[in-house]
Amino acid sequence: MKKENILIVDDNFDMLEVLQRQLASMNFHIYKASSVLEAIEILKSSTIDLLITDLQMPGINGMELVKYASEHFTELPKLVITGFPSIAGAVDAVKSGAIDYLVKPFTNDELKKAVEKSLQNSRITRQVSPNLKAKESLKTPYAGIIGQSEEILEVIDIIERVKNNRATILLQGESGTGKELVARAIHYKGAFAKGPFIAVNCGAIPENLLEAELFGFIKGSFTGATETRDGFFQAAAGGTIFLDEIGNAPQTVQTRLLRVLQEKEVTKIGAHHSEKINLRVVAATNSNLPQMIRSGAFREDLYYRLNVVNILIPPLRDRKEDIPAIVNTLLKKYGAEFQKNQISIAEPALQLLLRHSWPGNIRELENVIQRSIIMSENIIDLENLPDYLKAPLPQESDETAGESLEDVEKKHILKVLSAVNNNKTRAAEILKIDRKTLRQKLK
């Protein structure tokens, strides 16, 4: 496998040496520059797959380098590092074209994750480059989406129809089905791929901060607002904002989001005027939004605004014919990562994977493949697969016909916990409840 080239830019020579050692250990080829002008010369003369630059440098600063690279090397991902962190700085960097933001000091693991995330976006972008051959094999993944099942081809067909317009899209599907992958495909396959792609997990940001993070705020508009700053919507201008777990958005955010969709404008918290904004909104959920509407937890008018185009992403159990291709891709990916490039899977092990119902979908399959590669030599066999996959399939029976609903629920929860080796996070995903609800039921 050809090594990917990374250019690191920092006026601190010690930092350059540390970064070079860390990245070289991850099997990358490293270019170094101690100034923006030196970095530009390298960009012009060499093929670079990722630019990592410090922000604070004497003379021309790193932000100017990010802007230059965004204008002249449009498909090059930019990763910003700095020892002077600020939320405003992060937003400015993203608006200038940076794909991620890393604060010094950072761990080797944090660097690895940020680099891999940045390069993954680059690989998707290169996949849709106009220089690619017009006639691609039907078995070539579509912007990272693997499979030829009828269900997944239908998803790809919808993406092709909507990719070049600003229609609002709602992605629905179980946890682990690849909703963000589909959102990225919509963005990077379409006419607005040169704009930013901003992913926001509405369930991961504290409720009292989500509104400010999304829409920005004016200095002094609330306690702690020591500066005026843009939000993620402003950062996504000209591109796509992906609102994951939209069902977790509080009512205040839902109201503001409705106005964004209706008026195509954003108002910062504390501001007296709005700003026009041009972007695509892609939302995703594994919640039952119609049921949430009936309970008053989700606005019906917002639902219809989001649901202009609906894409239902099928669970893995409904497209099992895609499993061999997905497994093959994962073997190549993690085989290279774990220095086992010749790894393969035995037919009995593959058949066991085909038999499993995959309640955790592709995310669960990916975890299984990673573990199995680690536990095997050159071939993944039955003995390398997790024990819970080898449990006999449940047989249909009427043994619960005389039991109360509470007893049946208790048995089912305990059975799921046993199947996932008491992993409560995975059990909650399978049961489609949150961990708090699961803890209450276990009590």
- Range with the poorest average pLDDT among 48-52, 106-110, 125-129, 300-304: 125-129
pLDDT at 440 over 80: no
Per-residue confidence (pLDDT) for residue 267, from 0 to 100 = 87
pLDDT over 90 at 314, yes or no:
yes
DSSP 398: -
Together in a domain, 376 and 420: no
Residue 143: inside a domain, yes or no? no
Query: Which of 286, 299, 287 lies closest to 256 in space, CA to CA?
Result: 299
Asked, for residue 440, whether it belongs to a domain, the answer is yes
Is there a domain that residue 133 lies in? no
Pick the last residue of a domain from 314, 341, 357. 314
Residue 374's domain is classified under what CATH number? Answer: 1.10.8.60
Of 26-30, 271-275, 323-327, 387-391, which gets the smallest average pLDDT?
387-391
Look-up of token digits 């819970």 = 388
CATH number at residue 290: 3.40.50.300
Q: 140 vs 263, which has greater pLDDT?
A: 263
User: Of 257, 288, 314, which residue is a domain's last?
Assistant: 314
Is the CB of residue 381 less than 8 Å from the CB of residue 344? no
Is the pLDDT higher at 7 or at 70?
A: 7
Number of H helices, E strands in the chain: 18, 14
Count of beta carbons in the 10 Å neighbourhood of residue 236: 26
Q: What is the pLDDT of residue 380?
A: 93
432 and 359 Cβ atoms separated by less than 8 Å: no
Do 198 and 63 reside in the same domain of the chain? Answer: no
Q: Is the pLDDT of residue 83 over 50?
A: yes
Whether 171 and 299 map to the same domain: the answer is yes
| Per-residue pLDDT at 121 exceeds 60 | no
- Give the residue from 23, 100, 11 showing the smallest Cα distance to 58: 11
Residue 130 CA to residue 188 CA, distance in Å, equals 12
Q: CB-based contacts of 414: which residues, under 8 Å, 6+ apart?
A: none
Is the pLDDT at 403 greater than 50? The verdict is yes
Contact 224, 161 (CB under 8 A): no
% of the chain with per-residue pLDDT over 70? 88
237 and 374 fall within a common domain: no
Whether 142 is covered by a domain: the verdict is no
Q: What is the pLDDT of residue 168?
A: 94
For residue 134, name the pLDDT band (cuts at 50, 70, 90). very low
At 320, give phi and psi (nearest 5°). -65, -20
**Domain assignment of residue 144, yes or no:** no
Looking at the fold, whether 260 and 367 belong to one and the same domain comes out as no
**Domain co-membership, 236 together with 184:** yes
Owning domain of residue 433: 395-443
Clarify whether residues 278 and 329 are in a common domain: no
Average pLDDT over residues 104-113: 84
Question: What is the residue whose two structure tokens read 């070289």?
Answer: 24
What are the angstrom distances between the C-alpha of 133 and each of 119, 161, 234, 322? 22, 21, 35, 24
298 and 418, same domain (yes or no): no
More confident residue, 45 or 31: 31
- 340 and 310 housed in the same domain: no
Specify the pairing of strand 240-244 against strand 197-201: parallel
Count: domains in the chain: 4
Average pLDDT, the chain: 84
Closest to 331 (Cα-Cα) out of 360, 371, 361? 371
User: pLDDT value at position 92?
Assistant: 65
pLDDT at 91 over 70: no
> Considering the domain boundaries, does residue 442 fall inside one?
yes
Two tokens, residue 364: 């669960």
SS3 content of the chain, % helix, strand, coil (to 5): 50, 15, 40
DSSP reduced 3-state for 187: helix
Give yes or no for residue 86 having a pLDDT over 50.
yes
What was the pLDDT predicted at 119?
82
- 305 lies in the same domain as 158: yes
pLDDT digits (tens, 9 = 90+) for 272-312: 888 898 999 999 999 899 999 999 999 999 999 999 999 99
Q: What angle do CA 52, 85, 266 make, to 5 degrees?
A: 95
Last residue of a domain, one of 279, 314, 349: 314
144-172 average pLDDT score = 91
Residue 79 has pLDDT above 90, yes or no: no
Same domain flag for 176 and 114: no
DSSP 316: G
Range from 48-52, 116-120, 321-325 carrying the lowest mean pLDDT: 116-120
- Confidence check: pLDDT of 137 > 60: no
Distance CA 79, CA 385 (A): 37
Token pair of 290, please? Answer: 């119609």
- Note the pTM of the prediction, 2 decimals: 0.60
Q: Which residue has the higher pLDDT, 101 or 329?
A: 329
Residue 21 within a domain: yes
Is residue 172 included in any domain, yes or no?
yes
Q: Can you give the pLDDT at residue 322?
A: 92
Span 354-363, pLDDT tens digits: 888 899 999 9
Beta-carbon neighbour count of residue 118 at 10 Å?
Answer: 22
**Band of pLDDT at residue 94, cut at 50, 70 and 90:** low
CATH code (residue 424): 1.10.10.60
CATH number of the domain that 78 lies in? 3.40.50.2300
Is the backbone peptide bond immediately before 392 cis, with ω within 30 degrees of 0? no
The Cα–Cα gap between 134 and 4 comes to 25
In 3D, which of 87, 130, 173, 170 has the Cα closest to residue 432?
A: 173
Task: Report the pLDDT averaged over residues 218-243.
Answer: 87
- Residues 264, 307, single domain; the answer is yes
Sign of CA pseudo-dihedral 217, 221, 223, 225: positive
Has residue 393 got a pLDDT over 50? no
Residue 127: the pLDDT is: 45
